[in-house]
A = this chain, B = another copy of it.
């Protein structure tokens, strides 16, 4: 980083003590309880308009901001919905899903907080999340066990929702089984007459929770058809794709499910550069239905993945928070269907 010469140092407001509700009460000449009633807009207590005005003015003069933590300590719970932040960079599909969820929960007056618990796993991570006393926790991926769910509930979380391949005892489950993605691709390739099918498994860490079930899904689709499945580890680099393409004929594959559209685009270019005709000699199928796949020639066939809508998920969270005793719901939320274009 290039540092630019500093401006003159102004007196830092951080040095002054943080104003509290007691300071506001003193300046306004009222009790702390009155400050709390006014600033939290409590309708249960009648407070005169001039008193309200005095409290608001004192809070403004002092620059007082209520402390969410103190408020949640008093109320016993917060409006915070906590989601662990993904440890790997996310794709456009997840990014869009998260924006939508955040907007939908915001409209229901929840605050969504993504919590970066780098290096923590399973129940240890659950303890770290519990310390923030969220009212609901949404956990993508796997790793949270029944112990972790219990820790979260004992610390006051009214709803724990997992988004992953399996149910976890005590939690609501949005089942997202990526086996389906591979299965759709496998069924499609078999229907296109392919008998020796490769499956790309990214070498980048953190993607196993998606790539393993996708591979299993292809295996399941081809089981009993006499077609074979070959696992193809691949790093997301041009050189790695060129090396794989160079031994393609030796592998004798006539079709490939390439994990997602990005790996598919990478591999298809390498196959074309190595003189292998797509789809005649090898059919290529991606996943995610990115627009860029339509720009290639041949246009890329892909598995279109349906994630749950942010609004549906927000409503599930809200229902679960309102009725914490209602018992866990389980929903199948991952849809997968092949979009057949020209590469297969």
Contact A330-B4, Cβ < 8 Å, known A70-B73, A118-B106: yes
State which of B92, B115, B325 has its C-beta within 8 Å of the C-beta of A14: B325
Q: B residues within 8 A CB of A296?
A: 295
Q: What is the chain B residue whose CB lies nearest that of A326?
A: B9
Q: B residues within 8 A CB of A175?
A: 4
Complex-state Cα separation, A73 to B327, whole angstroms: 34
Q: B residues within 8 A CB of A156?
A: 14, 18
The oligomer's copy count stands at 2
Contact A1-B333, Cβ < 8 Å, known A295-B266, A326-B9: yes
Residues on A facing B (Cβ under 8 Å): 1-4, 6-10, 12-16, 18-19, 63-73, 76, 85-92, 95-96, 98-99, 102-103, 105-107, 111-119, 127-128, 130-133, 150-151, 153-158, 167, 169-170, 174-175, 236-238, 262, 265-266, 269, 291-292, 294-296, 308, 312, 316, 324-333
Instruction: Show 12 A/B contacts (Cβ-Cβ < 8 Å), sorted by A.
Output: A2-B332, A7-B327, A14-B158, A63-B151, A65-B130, A69-B69, A69-B133, A87-B99, A90-B95, A102-B116, A105-B116, A106-B116
Per CB-CB distance, the 3 closest pairs between chain A and chain B, nearest first, are: A69-B69, A9-B327, A106-B118
